[in-house]
Amino acid sequence: MTSSARLATRRAPALLAVLALAGCGLFGSDERGDVVGVLELEVGDCLLAPQEVQAEVGSVRLVPCTDPHEQEVYAVEVYEDADGATPEEYPGEAVLTSFAEGRCLETFAGYVGTDYRDSSLFFTYLLPSPRGWQGAGREADRSIVCVVTTTGEQLTSSVRQSGT
């Protein structure tokens, strides 16, 4: 399979994961981990996968990266337009999706230690919702969160510089 064909086939699971996480309230009955708001996520945080799909994600469950988990934050990027500014008005889901796909792909190798096309891992992202974008001060959500994920397998260590 060519790299472009492989990249295309790898996008489907990532896009499905985006639908599960888009908008930046998730996790159901699993009581493991500490619940934190998505605005508190930092690079290196390991997360439990959602138990159910919801349109907006307000909080996630963090676990130590040595505990079984399915996701790890590898980049948090503030959206900037072509002029390098962060607009006051919500730019729209399509614009944010394009930005997220580019930035998450661009930063993947630096965190994981291998090119995305050669990795056994996938990425997805959290996007700001229109409501979150309009928040005031520190409550305004203008960042996308890039998350390494699997096709359902459990991770039991960080993927940082793992080369997988």
Averages of pLDDT over each 10 residues, the chain, 164 residues: 37 39 39 83 92 74 96 96 90 96 98 96 94 77 94 93 93
pLDDT of residue 56: 75
pLDDT of residue 140: 74
Encoded tokens for 105: 């792909």
Whether residue 109 is contained in a domain is answered as yes
Whether residue 162 is contained in a domain is answered as no
pLDDT of residue 137: 67
Whether residue 69 is contained in a domain is answered as yes
Whether residue 155 is contained in a domain is answered as no
Q: Is the dihedral of CA 45, 110, 102, 141 positive or negative?
A: positive
Whether residue 161 is contained in a domain is answered as no
Closest by Cα among 102, 114, 115 to 146: 102
Encoded tokens for 37: 């708001």
Q: Where are the beta strands (DSSP E) in 3-155?
A: 34-37, 46-47, 59-63, 71-78, 122-126, 143-149
Whether residue 159 is contained in a domain is answered as no
Encoded tokens for 29: 């009955």
pLDDT of residue 50: 74
When divided into structural domains, the chain yields a total of: 1
Whether residue 139 is contained in a domain is answered as yes
> The domain containing residue 37 runs over which residues?
3-149
pLDDT of residue 138: 62
> How much is the mean pLDDT over the chain?
81
Whether residue 154 is contained in a domain is answered as no
